[in-house]
Chains A and B, each alone.
Chain A
Amino acid sequence: MIAFADVRARYPRQQHLALGGVSLDAERGSVTAVVGPNGSGKSTLIRALIGRVPLAAGTISIDGADTRTWSREAIARRVAVVTQREETTFPMTVREYVALGRLPHRGTWGRDTMQDRAAVDAAIARTGMHALADRSVHQLSGGEWQRVRFARALAQGGDALVADEPTTFLDIAHEMAVFELMRSVAADGHAVLMVSHQLNLVARFADRLVLLHDGRVAAAGTVNDVMRPEILEQVYEWPVLVTRDAAIGALTLVPLRKPSTSSRS
Chain B
Amino acid sequence: MSRSHWTMLCLALLAAIALALAIGTIGYTPADTWRALTGQADATTTLVIRELRLRRTILAALLGAGLGISGAALQGVLRNALAEPYLLGVSGGAAVGAVLAVVAGMSYAFVPIAAFAGAALAVALALFVAHAAHGRADPRVLIMAGVVVGAFANAAIMILLANASESRVRGAVWWMMGSVADARWSETAWLGLYVVVGGAVLVTTARSLDAIALGEDSAAGLGVDVDRVSRRIYLTASLVAAATVAAAGLVGFVGLVVPHIVRRIGASGHRTLLVASALMGALLTVLADIVARAAMPPTELPLGAITAVVGVPFFLATLRRLT
Contact = CB atoms under 8 A, between A and B. Distances in A.
B300 interface: no
Interface string A119-152: 0000000000000000010110000000000000
Interface in A90-108: 90-93, 96, 100-101, 103-104, 106, 108
Interface string B98-119: 0000000000000000000000
Given A83-B218, A91-B263, A96 B213 contact: no
A76 B221 contact: yes
Contacts, number: 88
A80 B75 CA distance: 26
Given A73-B223, A83-B215, A156-B222, A100 B210 contact: yes
A204 interface: no
B220 A72 contact: yes
A82 B215 CA distance: 12
Contacts of B215: 83, 85-87
Contact of B222 (A89, A104, A108, A138): A104
B323 A52 contact: no
A100 to B, nearest CB: 6
Contacts of A74: 223
A71 to B, nearest CB: 7
Contact of B213 (A73, A79, A80, A90): A90
Nearest to B264: A91
Interface residues of B, number: 29
Nearest to A164: B217
Contacts of A250: none
Given A77-B223, A88-B214, A103-B210, A96 B204 contact: no
A51 interface: yes
Nearest to B225: A72
Contacts of A199: none
Given A12-B135, A83-B221, A86-B215, A108 B263 contact: no
Contact of A71 (B223, B268, B269, B323): B223
Interface of B: 75-76, 79-81, 134-136, 204, 207, 210-211, 213-218, 220-226, 263, 268-269, 323
